[in-house]
Structure 1
Amino acid sequence: MMTHAAYDCDVLVIGGGIVGLSTAYAITRTAPGTRVTVLEKEWGPARHQTGRNSGVIHSGIYYPPGSLKARYAVRGAAELVDFCAEHGIAHAVTGKLIVATSRGELPRLHALVQRGRAHGLPVREFGPAQIAEYEPEVRGVAAIRVGTTGVCDFTAVAVRFAAEVSASGGQIRYGAEVVAVDRRPWGVAVRTSDGQVVRARVLVNCAGLHSDRVARLAGDDPGARIVPFRGEYYELARPELVRGLVYPVPDPAFPFLGVHLTRGVDGTVHVGPNAVPALAREGYGPTVVHPRELAATLAWPGSWRIARRHWRYGAGEVHRSLSKSAFTRAVQRLLPEVTEADLRPSPAGVRAQAVLRDGTLVDDFLIRDAPHTVHVLNAPSPAATASLPIGREVARRALQRARATGWTPPAVESGHCV
């Protein structure tokens, strides 16, 4: 058995997005004195999914009762608002409208009402006149208003987590891409691209777009592959057309919520996203292609099964990606006054969507344990909303595995546990 001094840290977290940093933050809060190191390949935090989304604090209304997404989003939304208020991070609880634009969508809208109430959410049903009262330019046959939805600056939240970790004695290393993982009976050794080796009792994989690759480096079969989907946004040139957050009724067959309207904390209104296959895991533009990553996606049987099963839906998304007029028509279902000229291109994001071999889109957070390791294999939206409870759960699992190595947790003073 290795001595305590032989370990560079007790828990090593791969990934400096909001989930990885929340996990490190939770460890420093739950077990003060635990030596935590975070490795992030970029030169700053939140450079991918965390910093490239619409900034919505989700209520949890979409997710099945009992699922991790439902439990963590409902709890996490309230906790995140409190965290932002405590640390002076820009946020607003605005509520949002989910709008049915045709009578055929009413059964799905009613199902959301029932689900929201099952979660204990404040849900109100609206007719056309009430829709116009909240959003004068929005049109629909019916809607629901969910009062706990809001917006915040998720990058600022991640930066704050990082600051809290550093203040508690944790280490965050940027520009440290992991290229090899060696799991031994005593723990894990990780080598970074600059040749440095970090030895830890426990490894936590929060690598997001690369989480399945890191799992395979550790010798584990994740049972799924990350298939990247690019989310394409526009910015509304006339932000006065939208007061808050407006969503369509989603298709329950997909984890995507459809083209929606989001007024952010800075007053800008983003419209989108499309969800189209990306040709690279960090393929934020349509011309960004990484042949090796694309080949790996095409070699995964689940990718072809998705395409065969959902080709009509996918064709519509690609059509709106290629045709601004088609995208505009999709927006006009909610906002008739919008024109092509009102839509200005805005930076895209990429969703790290885990897909099973049979083509199933993993619809819940996916966290798996292995010897000396915890893998977070699927944590797209609403993971940012749920970052505090997800971080606590992953931290709990990591500390449990650290104890199995013979490690004794540092003394925890009363009041420090969360």
Structure 2
Amino acid sequence: MSTTAYDGDVLVVGGGIVGLATAYAVSRSAPGTRVVVLEKEAGPARHQTGRNSGVIHSGIYYRPDSLKARFAVRGAAEMVKFCAEYGIAHAVTGKLIVATERDELPRLHALAQRGRENGIAVRELGPAQIQEYEPEVRGLAAIQVASTGIADYRAVARHLAEMSGADIRYGADIVQIDRRPARGVAVRTAAGTVVRGKVLVNCAGLQCDQVARLAGDDPGMRIVPFRGEYFDLARPELVRGLVYPVPDPAFPFLGVHLTRGIEGSVHVGPNAVPALAREGYDWGTVRPRELAGTLAWPGSWRIARRHWRYGAGELLRSASKRAFTDAVRRLVPAVDPEDLVAAPAGVRAQAVLRDGTLVDDFLIREGARTVHVLNAPSPAATASLPIGREVARRALAALASA
């Protein structure tokens, strides 16, 4: 593929909230820079962005000084301001993180300390105080985090797309990348169209490792997809706001929780089970080539050996509505199986290293004329504006040296 003429200065692969925030940040930081966004779906935010619980995370869970901690704390405040400025549905609701067993109390206290280290206001509550916030919730102790909220992230993504000034091309499924350090980057789509640019930014989410390899870069990780299954609560009056369990520090998943959505319904979930395809939103979606790629990665087997007990519990909650209900009833005893109505699932694009390590921070790597966002699951939507600025900074630096 020849790269003698450029369609844009920066090509962004992926029209989720991170890719669109990057396009928006490039246009704000360097007006006049031509940005082309290539998205394989027919519209923006069709995967991780549009299939989560809509929470604006406070940043309490993340290791101090990590990208997740810094970007989530900053991003939460910026997301509330962005939504307010542009009339996007949102609310600052606060949330409770509830310990229901005595062995969770040290972890809850450590979490409160971590929140304070990250500059987050937290309040520790006893059982009576829990019920002042959430009358149907039972627990031994809790943390109240006032800065947590909810937002319509699909609307945020649409607004970023409009404000970016980028040339956004939907239905652009990438099948080939030709990168030549002296001549730029050319991308061929499944339709046969060739799009040329000076720098490529990979924000492809569930496909990000594949895009990196197409560009000739070794990402050093693989995306192992985990499906998160949700229910809606038929009696939303049981929960006023957001209620979470104390997370297991060995995993990047937060456990089954209850979150009141921006439209007033209450979402329950997710669990975390292996997906049989990168976009495997149910057990019936199986893509043998993608599944074979996951199984061929040594890290997948090391995760399975290391965490099989945890995984077995998640699979049980997927197969048994009663088991899922039992997990919910730890927090809200009044919930019955009939209260849970099946809702659309999401898939988490989890980066896994060869040794089986679950990457627990945002991961951004660079190559010649490329910037790759290789791990950006939750809280990426919350942190999308600062992530976008960081990726844009690196892309513009690569553009300047091209």
Q: TM-score, normalised by structure 2?
A: 0.99
Structure 2 equivalent of residue 42 of structure 1: 41
Q: Distance in 2 between matches of 1:129 and 1:261?
A: 20
Q: Distance in 1 between matches of 2:137 and 2:106?
A: 20
The one of 338, 341, 344 equivalent to 1:344 is: 341
* SS of equivalent residue, structure 2 residue 270: strand
Structure 1 equivalent of residue 293 of structure 2: 296
Task: Give how far 1:6 is off.
Answer: 1.9
Structure 1 equivalent of residue 206 of structure 2: 209
The one of 150, 174, 180 equivalent to 1:178 is: 174
Q: Distance in 2 between matches of 1:8 and 1:175?
A: 17
The residue type equivalent to 2:213 in the other structure is R
Task: Give how far 1:103 is off.
Answer: 1.1
* SS of equivalent residue, structure 1 residue 202: strand
* SS of equivalent residue, structure 2 residue 273: strand
What are the residue-to-residue correspondences of 1:93-242 with 2, within 5 Å? 93-165=92-164, 168=165, 170-184=166-180, 185-242=182-239
Q: Distance in 2 between matches of 1:88 and 1:188?
A: 38
Task: Give how far 1:361 is off.
Answer: 0.3
Task: Give how far 1:119 is off.
Answer: 1.1
Q: Distance in 2 between matches of 1:286 and 1:152?
A: 29
Q: For residues 125-177 of structure 1, give each alpha carbon's deviation from its aligned partner in whole angstroms, at most 9, with x where no partner exists.
A: 10000000000000000001001000000000000000102xx3x20000001
Task: Give how far 1:186 is off.
Answer: 2.0
The one of 353, 358, 378 equivalent to 1:356 is: 353
The residue type equivalent to 2:301 in the other structure is W
- Percent of pairs with identical residues: 77
Structure 1 equivalent of residue 284 of structure 2: 287
Structure 2 equivalent of residue 309 of structure 1: 306
> Which segments of 5 or more consecutive residues in structure 2 lack a partner in the other structure?
none
Task: Give how far 1:242 is off.
Answer: 0.1
What are the residue-to-residue correspondences of 1:373-412 with 2, within 5 Å? 373-405=370-402
What are the residue-to-residue correspondences of 1:65-84 with 2, within 5 Å? 65-84=64-83
The residue type equivalent to 1:180 in the other structure is Q
Task: Give how far 1:365 is off.
Answer: 0.3
Task: Give how far 1:194 is off.
Answer: 1.0
Q: For residues 341-393 of structure 1, give each alpha carbon's deviation from its aligned partner in whole angstroms, at most 9, with x where no partner exists.
A: 00000000000000000000000000000000000000000000000000000
The one of 322, 327, 336 equivalent to 2:324 is: 327
Q: For residues 194-213 of structure 1, give each alpha carbon's deviation from its aligned partner in whole angstroms, at most 9, with x where no partner exists.
A: 11111111000000000000
* SS of equivalent residue, structure 1 residue 226: strand
The residue type equivalent to 2:117 in the other structure is A
The residue type equivalent to 2:120 in the other structure is L
Q: Distance in 2 between matches of 1:89 and 1:207?
A: 25
Which stretches of structure 1, 4 residues or more, deviate above 6 A after TM superposition? none
Indicate yes or no: 2:369 matched with 1:372. Answer: yes
Task: Give how far 1:8 is off.
Answer: 1.1
> Which segments of 5 or more consecutive residues in structure 1 lack a partner in the other structure?
406-418
Q: Distance in 1 between matches of 2:8 and 2:133?
A: 52
